Amino acid sequence: MEKIIDLEEAKKVINECHDLNELNNLRVTYLGKKSALSLAMAQMGKLKPEERAVYGKSVNDLKNELNNAINAQKAQLELAKLNETLQKETIDISLPGQSFEVGSKGIVAQVIDEICEICIGLGFSIAEGPEVESDHFNFEMMNIPKGHPARDMQDTFYIDETTLLRSHTSPVQAHVMLAAQGKGPIKVICPGKVYRRDEDTTHSHEFHQIEALVVDKGITMADLKGILLTIARKMFGEKREIRLRSSFFPFTEPSVEVDVSCFQCEGKGCNLCKGTGWIELLGAGMVHPNVLKGAGFDPNVYTGYAFGIGVERVAMLRYGIEDMRYLFANNVNIMKQFKKER
Ligand code: PHE
């Protein structure tokens, strides 16, 4: 039987190959369809059966030897290549890194988060309404018909005759009540942006409110006072007291202005509370029967309370910020002072 190929010679060629592509070519040469080995295998059918077994085994052994030699060389070449890459790409960890600062939430967003968290802990869920609102929801549904003097209380941006930028978050009350289809209980807070046509050190044309609405059978002013005291204490300290002063809003009856005892002077009188010991915090009241009725709730069965917190006002009080415009100045130095470590 003639020799198919010189195995020793082939192994030498394989071991001396130092390029993965070339090694691949060698695999084709020695083991491919047109290789001497394949041709030899094709001839096998012509042999006598007793010769065939012996010949077949030797061809197979040869094939295995070649395969092993190629695979071993391939593994070696790949390892060498990997080592070379690792060498080239080493990182010098002794070099000082590039430091960059992580941003943080703005002050207003932080205060909104905090109030929402407190209220969620008290069983409220969050509701939202549109910032581009209809006159109908912003005013009529809130018991402020056309020509009502209370329309002047909130200088409104109109888009056209019937569309406006909401001047308060109270219209969300109406959306939520309508969605509830006359069936309580409702217990929601509605944080969001509102717009009014004024701007000075304590007013911005764009600001934030958090509206609260609770509607159920048997809700009273005592429930309102209780929840307000809890929120005031969580926000401004356990020693705070609140007081309710009679006030007016068209959508609540009775209406109150809620004050919190001054957290800077503990009520003795200081610059923050202008010597009175009390700080005005928010507007509130029992939902007006007309509002309940207009939004599909029977005022003979259901009662409710609502309040509206001015977020910027709380932020300014809290951090002693004198000009509201600082809150939106995007001044990095100011932002840094209020950065919460994460
Ligand atoms: N909507 C009122 C305002 O913007 C605040 C308010 C809300 C008052 C709910 C009473 C009840 O001034």
**142-172: pLDDT as tens digits:** 999 988 887 876 689 999 989 999 999 999 9
Predicted TM-score (pTM) of the model is: 0.71
pLDDT band for 2, please (50, 70, 90 cuts): low
- Of the chain, the percentage scoring pLDDT greater than 70 comes to 98
CA distance 271 to 169: 30
Both 191 and 81 in one domain: the answer is: no
Q: Whose CA is nearest to atom 4 of ligand 1?
A: 168
CA of 44 to the centre of ligand 1 (A): 98
CA of 225 to the centre of ligand 1 (A): 16
* Residue 225 CB partners (closer than 8 Å, separation 6+): 242, 244
Q: Please check whether residue 97 lies inside any domain of the structure.
A: no
Tens of pLDDT, residues 31-77: 999 988 888 888 888 888 888 888 888 888 999 999 999 999 999 99
Q: Region 74-95: what's the mean pLDDT?
A: 90
Tokens 């005759």 map to which residue? 161
pLDDT at 36: 87
Both 84 and 112 in one domain: the answer is: no
Residue numbers of the domain that contains 47 = 7-88
pLDDT band for 105, please (50, 70, 90 cuts): confident
* Residue 142 CB partners (closer than 8 Å, separation 6+): 170, 171, 173, 174, 250, 251, 291
CA distance 173 to 163: 18
pLDDT at 320: 82
* Residue 148 CB partners (closer than 8 Å, separation 6+): 139, 250
**How many domains does one find in the chain?**
2
Q: Region 321-330: what's the mean pLDDT?
A: 83
Are residues 44 and 56 in contact, defined by beta-carbon separation less than 8 angstroms? yes
CA distance 209 to 35: 83
Q: Which of 209, 292, 313 to mutate to test the pocket of ligand 1 (most atoms within 8 A of CB)?
A: 209
Both 244 and 309 in one domain: the answer is: yes
Q: Please check whether residue 126 lies inside any domain of the structure.
A: yes
SS3 of the chain: the string is CCCCCCHHHHHHHHHCCCCHHHHHHHHHHHHCCCCHHHHHHHHHHHCCHHHHHHHHHHHHHHHHHHHHHHHHHHHHHHHHHHHHHHHHCCCCCCCCCCCCCCCCCCHHHHHHHHHHHHHHHCCCEECCCCCEEEHHHHCHHHCCCCCCHHHHHCCCCECCCCEEECCCCCHHHHHHHHHHCCCCCEEEEEEEEEECCCCCCCCCCEEEEEEEEEEECCCCHHHHHHHHHHHHHHHHCCCCCEEEEEEEECCEEEEEEEEEECCCCCCCCCCCCCCCCEEEEEEEEEECHHHHHHCCCCCCCCEEEEEEEEHHHHHHHHHCCCCHHHHHCCCHHHHHHCCCCC
CA of 104 to the centre of ligand 1 (A): 30
Mark which of 59, 88, 117 sits at the end of a domain: 88
Both 246 and 168 in one domain: the answer is: yes
Q: Please check whether residue 70 lies inside any domain of the structure.
A: yes
Q: Please check whether residue 103 lies inside any domain of the structure.
A: no
Mark which of 56, 88, 120 sits at the end of a domain: 88
Backbone φ, ψ for residue 5 (5° rounding):
-145, 165
Mark which of 88, 121, 149 sits at the end of a domain: 88
Both 199 and 296 in one domain: the answer is: yes
Residue 175 maps to which CATH number? 3.30.930.10
Q: Region 220-249: what's the mean pLDDT?
A: 96
* Choice among 212-216, 233-237, 253-257, 285-289 with the minimum mean pLDDT: 233-237
Q: Please check whether residue 95 lies inside any domain of the structure.
A: no
Pocket-forming residues, ligand 1, beta carbon under 6 Å: 168, 170, 211, 249, 252, 283-285, 306-308
Both 159 and 294 in one domain: the answer is: yes
CA distance 338 to 318: 11
CA of 310 to the centre of ligand 1 (A): 9
Both 275 and 141 in one domain: the answer is: yes
Task: Collapse the DSSP code of 258 into the 3-class scheme (helix H, G, I; strand E, B; otherwise coil) and give the result.
Answer: strand
pLDDT at 275: 93
pLDDT at 83: 92
Both 78 and 165 in one domain: the answer is: no
Tens of pLDDT, residues 191-225: 999 999 887 777 789 999 999 999 999 999 999 99
Q: Please check whether residue 2 lies inside any domain of the structure.
A: no
Structure tokens at 52: 């065939």
Both 29 and 146 in one domain: the answer is: no
pLDDT band for 276, please (50, 70, 90 cuts): very high
**Whether pLDDT at 289 is above 80:** yes
CA of 283 to the centre of ligand 1 (A): 5
CA distance 263 to 268: 10
Both 332 and 188 in one domain: the answer is: yes
- Which contacts of 17-25 are long-range, i.e. CB under 8 A and separated by 24 or more positions? 17/73, 18/77, 19/77, 20/74, 20/77, 20/78, 20/81, 23/70, 23/73, 23/74, 23/77
- Of the chain, the percentage scoring pLDDT greater than 90 comes to 64
Both 131 and 258 in one domain: the answer is: yes
Tokens 């059978």 map to which residue? 217
Both 54 and 163 in one domain: the answer is: no
Q: Please check whether residue 82 lies inside any domain of the structure.
A: yes
pLDDT at 145: 92
- Mean pLDDT of all residues belonging to the chain: 91
Q: Which of 165, 167, 168, 245 to mutate to test the pocket of ligand 1 (most atoms within 8 A of CB)?
A: 168
pLDDT at 341: 64
Q: Please check whether residue 228 lies inside any domain of the structure.
A: yes
pLDDT band for 342, please (50, 70, 90 cuts): low
